[in-house]
Structure 1
């Protein structure tokens, strides 16, 4: 992996280990600088209260210039949360993972944003095109050109 990505991920991992994660977020695996796994629990009074979901980050050599590939893990009997911006294969339609990505964002900032996205949801439902998207989706969600219709759900 390119040294800029390795240095940045080493710095982020060091901060996570020394400062810990925000409430409801837990680092489960960070064996290398290509794939990290987190659990995300939605706290407070919401449709997802007390649900725990697993989030996978995959990093390419251009991180943090390019966004990580982030998706919910849907194996081993786990399913992605039912949400208007989360496909049943775990892919997430969120502008911060696409055209609004910024190198100043960290892995933890992405986790907090997704945690907040779930907490603020008003109705549990899949995206309207879920079946068609999942049938034709690439393995890597970064290879999808999502259209961001809103930022309020």
Structure 2
């Protein structure tokens, strides 16, 4: 891992341990600077009330210049949230993970943004191209060039 990525991730992890995570977000595992796991729960009234999802963050040596690879984890009978921007394989079509990524964003900021994305959803449904995408999707969601055209859900 490049030293800039390790320094930044070390700083973020130290802040998480000293200040805690925002409400509804919990660090599950961060044993190294390659893969971290968080759970997120949408707070308040929403389509996802009471549901908890696990997010996996994978970092490369270019973090924070390059975004982490972030996806919902599907294990132990858990599925990805049913949402117009979340594919059934856990990949997330969100501009902040692609062309609108900024090095000022932190891991917890991404979690809060995804928590907010779920909270604002009015109808649980998969993306229209879910089946086709999942059949051909790469293992790493960062290798997908998503088209961001709908920020209303």
TM-score by length of 1: 0.99
1:76, distance to aligned residue in structure 2 (A) = 2.2
Alignment deviations for residues 125-149 of structure 1 (CA, whole Å, 9 cap, x no partner): 0000000000000000000000001
TM-score by length of 2: 0.99
| 1:70-89 equivalence runs, <5 A | 70-89=70-89
* Unmatched 5+ stretches in structure 1: none
1:135: which partner in 2?
135
Aligned length: 153
4+ runs deviating over 2 angstroms: none
Q: Distance in 1 between matches of 2:151 and 2:121?
A: 11
Q: Distance in 2 between matches of 1:104 and 1:142?
A: 19
1:69: which partner in 2?
69
Query: Equivalent residue of 2:39, what SS?
Result: strand
Q: Distance in 2 between matches of 1:66 and 1:151?
A: 22
1:50, distance to aligned residue in structure 2 (A) = 1.0
2:48: which partner in 1?
48
RMSD of aligned alpha carbons: 0.4
